[in-house]
Structure 1
């Protein structure tokens, strides 16, 4: 068996080669002996493709916190049932009303609406490298006109966090990403922003022990500050976020924690045993689908006010993951979506799986599978037409951004970037 360092190096190197990797076999084979490092590297895969079965097959290559994939192809129909009843406990805009049981025909991959035609204002082109030759890794959209980026001198090396303005075509540096001396196996695992702050986590080994460091910086620009260093079981960080005043994170075994940006000790958020942070303030009771492919999320919790909403799970549903309004999962070998209360069910035959290791609906509206994006508001299927074989995503939160090369190969000079935050509500 490979050592942890060899495995980590292999996955990091794969980011520049983008081969097809069948990782789920490795997950199952090593399940009882999985180390923290393997779990975090697998959790970093942000894209998954599964075709027509309930078996989860991860295909793609990894970057520091994301992945680039060989995409699956969806089939032809979407069926919706029942009458939607908007939740009184959440505020996201619901999809269109359906007053009777209906059947809609979704455009198949070969005939679907090209994303450039369906959402032209959400598709932009940007350089894949900065002036120093550092590779950009888009993380997520900051609203409709800005994209948060990582700039890496090489895989596994500390770099910078930047913002790209899609209107002006200009970049600005948010902060340099520090690297604490004496660390080995450095890996920037996750990043998030609330529009005012940017937070991220790194993992590394120090004196043979795995540690996690959680960092933050003001999005307007400034020096990065180390919020907390974690060791032992506490270092098994899966996701980070921010509530505007603190860095917030959850661990692979469950539990949500908080550390104020100002002075103060890290503390466990009350009543979060077994919960996994989705995106502040939302958390659920099911973790990484790569690790627990058949486990269903049974509730979603608003950590800001303590509201708990149960998820209606029906027969043969597997891998259910929910945001504040919508859920996705697998049923009978196909992907499906529904409201939390079990209404508004839709199936997409041919989609065996939606999204990646954390397949929550993006903006509680979009489901991503392979090289297509399904819009729960309109029923449209947007097709991503790409010259190469991969699509990238670099966030363990439900990121609004997908990107791919403008030319074939794994090291293009430019990216196409789809920012779903720029899609109008009714389009």
Structure 2
């Protein structure tokens, strides 16, 4: 069985399970994942690997930043106690009714009838729409698309390098668009990072380095302070290059680090548990060297963002406070240090997927009503994956329309 078949089976099994799987099944086991759709595929593969009992890859890790001696890792959650489960609640309202200012409905094509993929929000009602066949060797064309007027304007007609095999999704910041490509030569590949003005224009190369992975060895990338910052997915390390262009530079003391949200990164393991780095139990601010540890139980599996941690016990703050059960099974990572996708079980055995706000406890029904175990259900699960690397734009297809959510506007 090849990896494609394994992934299809995994998605189908996930969608078919009843009762829903426990939250910890969906906790990540490693960092090396491409973004968005390919993040979902790799995450499913990680689940399949975990179920199969395959050992997790262990790096040789050497800490470079020393934690503060005042950092406490003592748990405030009583051992072997699950936080009190919430009382049964009525089904969540539709996503658009819960957050009407953040949710948009769009057709599946641009006014020129080209299919497109939403990439990022350019303002409160305008998105960057990527058109063109596939995700890789064909030339992507980037459009601004006004979700209110339904008007589109070409922003960037990007010409990838020869033999480009992959063009990544776009991130945005400080008036710039940034993405990367992977192209191949006779010896090995090259990963090149590109930028263009968010108002449109010609793409410029920021930097490049050798590459041996099809989708590129970047697990997080952002624009900040006039530069691009990223971390390497397999070998780790936090790097930067000015938007004006230069050779990449590793930030001092970040060998083996993985960014989870700029400027916070997960450092090398400190306790001998090879899963802790991927789970971000310890995070370090790479600018200030501040260290934050997650409060955990011995042997407990967690998956943390900067503020929140998920585990088989539910959700709680990184410092152990605010522990509570979740009203459903976790189907994703944590996006924007705040949002997860849950599967709730309701009367009559009906399953509903919701976008759940960890900060407020509010949820919006995504509207999917497919039969568990169907190919449609597996496809929907793939589309709604979010995690630490996801942008503020959350999008999926429903009943022939595209639902586009601006997570950053939800208060």
1:419 aligns with 2:400: no
- Tell me by how many angstroms 1:393 deviates: 5.9
Counterpart of 1:54 (choices 24, 45, 60) is 24
SS of residue paired to 2:301? strand
Change (3 A) 1:155 1:24: same
Cα shift at 1:385? 0.4
Q: Does 1:317 align with 2:317?
A: no
Deviations 1:22-42 (A, max 9, x none): 2799xxxxxxxxxxxxxxxxx
Kindly indicate which of the two structures has a greater share of residues assigned to strand: 1
Counterpart of 1:345 (choices 323, 327, 336) is 323
Q: Is 1:369 aligned to residue 352 of structure 2?
A: no
How far did residue 231 of structure 1 move? 0.8
Aligned positions of 1:210-289 closer than 5 A: 210-232=189-211, 236-252=217-233, 253-285=235-267
- 1:369-424: CA deviation from partner (whole Å, max 9, x where unpaired): 353111223212211103664135688723223222242xxxx4x3121222232x
Quick one: distance in 1 between partners of 2:88 and 2:254? 39
What is the rounded CA distance, in whole Å, between the counterparts of 2:392 and 2:202 in structure 1?
A: 26
Let me know the Cα RMSD of the aligned residues. Answer: 3.8
**Aligned with 2:390 (options 390, 395, 398):** 398
Secondary structure of the corresponding residue to residue 346 of structure 1: coil
TM-score where L is the length of structure 1: 0.66
Q: Where in structure 2 are the equivalents of 1:103-122 lying within 5 Å? A: 104-105=86-87, 107=89, 111-122=91-102
Give the Cα–Cα distance (whole angstroms) in 2 for the partners of residues 160 and 193 of structure 1: 16
| Contact 1:128-1:136 at 8 Å conserved across structures | yes
Task: Give the TM-score normalised by the residue count of structure 2.
Answer: 0.69
Tell which structure's C-alpha radius of gyration is larger.
Answer: 2
Task: Decide whether the 8 Å contact of 1:242 with 1:280 is kept in 2.
Answer: no
Aligned counterpart, 1:130: 110
2:309 maps to 1:328:
yes
What residue in structure 2 maps to residue 145 of structure 1?
125
Residue of structure 2 in register with 1:164 after alignment: 145
Closer/same/farther in 2, CA of residues 176 and 260 from structure 1, 3 Å limit: same
Q: Which runs of 5+ in 1 are unaligned?
A: 26-49, 72-100
- Rate the CA distance shift 1:399–1:286 in 2: closer, same or farther, 3 A: farther
| Paired residues of 2:328 and 2:342 also in contact (CA < 8 A) | no
Q: How many residues are matched?
A: 334
Secondary structure at the residue paired with 1:348?
coil
